[in-house]
Structure 1
């Protein structure tokens, strides 16, 4: 009986693998050392590819940096794509019907968003993403524009509209914009201050039990929106 052999990877397959290695590893390298500190040699060695792969596939280090930012945005979107699409379609339906969303539904959707983001932010894979984004927050470049346009801006925009519905205000008001950024910050803190959070909670790591506590906390944050008005 003739032994079957696995098909050999084509030149295009090998090229795709090389690009993927560079994109994935460069997010971590750029996040750790910054654009200036990340040499092309370090980027290539970390990815385990030939040095000439960077100019061949990306035109140079700057091209790789921009492509890494777009790849980062794509990976984040991959984790929230289903929920993001559901919320976008729901908002579009409401706009088409000319009806207002009920605050109860807005809270439910915002809670799902917050819980999904908390779970993502405390995951180990988000460490390198956070380093990259924090650097871009401090000194924005074209890479920040790509990440913001593709994932941060749209997600914040959806949250702002839901918060506006909860508060019974217009999404364009400065109050709602600030309220939204404060809310987003209360979720981001679980990644940006991860070590401090673990120390404060006296946790060694984030396991299923700890994640469930954080999910309940995210729901509490949503439930608290508008409570200052109710107490007046």
Structure 2
């Protein structure tokens, strides 16, 4: 009796995983550029360099690929900030459990780490396609936006809000804190959403190590100014 050969199966699985990964990665860029309606299945398959039938085989169709791409994007972003976010949330939870409050100084330090991590991510080339995808969902939200918001945007904004509230000495749920948090997040997002304008205004050809150091210092200054103005004390 011939022995069962098991080696080809892992190889097939590896090829399948690679095909799926290609589709997820490239579709974020295609959907970001052309939107859900403008991106055809042929365009998505050709950009990924895979067979057209791979889309219904792995994702059930274009809609399934779109949703999977959003979840994939969320996992990528979480991979960049997840460890720091977990550290901060665990610290906040521990203090809440002990009935203690975080000091404004510690909140500033943690918020500075978050902002510096995010600004480095926003000015990277890899975040260009992410921004296009998310901006389209911001303009015309679908259920996919709810997934991105629930997995990435909401938790990050909520965590930043806790730190901003601690710095300002106000309740995290207050309207003032929520607005200040959104404005603060916006002052960081501009480096991705208005990347071309930033380069032109700063007379930079690109953002390299020296420029990134400048932006990191700027991020720290933004955190330092929180709570220092009259509007923060009112």
Q: What TM-score, normalized by structure 1, do the two folds share?
A: 0.95
Q: Is the 8 A contact 2:32 2:130 kept in 1?
A: yes
Match of 1:66 in 2: 67
Q: Is the 8 A contact 2:137 2:144 kept in 1?
A: yes
How far is 1:231 from its partner? 8.2
Q: CA RMSD in A?
A: 1.6
Count of equivalent residues: 227
1:197 to 2:198 alignment? yes
Give distance in 2, aligned partners of 1:215 and 1:226: 20
Match of 2:101 in 1: 100
Give ranges in structure 1 of 5+ residues lacking alignment: 1-5
How far is 1:85 from its partner? 1.1
How far is 1:8 from its partner? 8.7
How far is 1:14 from its partner? 1.2
Q: What TM-score, normalized by structure 2, do the two folds share?
A: 0.94
Give distance in 2, aligned partners of 1:99 and 1:47: 51
Q: What secondary structure is seen at the aligned counterpart in 2 of 1:227? A: coil
Q: Is the 8 A contact 2:172 2:178 kept in 1?
A: yes
Q: Is the 8 A contact 2:168 2:233 kept in 1?
A: no
Match of 2:175 in 1: 174
Q: What secondary structure is seen at the aligned counterpart in 1 of 2:229? A: helix
Deviations 1:133-174 (A, max 9, x none): 000000001111111000110000000000000000000000
Give distance in 2, aligned partners of 1:173 and 1:212: 34
How far is 1:9 from its partner? 5.3
Match of 1:113 in 2: 114
How far is 1:15 from its partner? 1.1
Comparing 52-61 with 8-17, which one deviates more in the overlay? 8-17
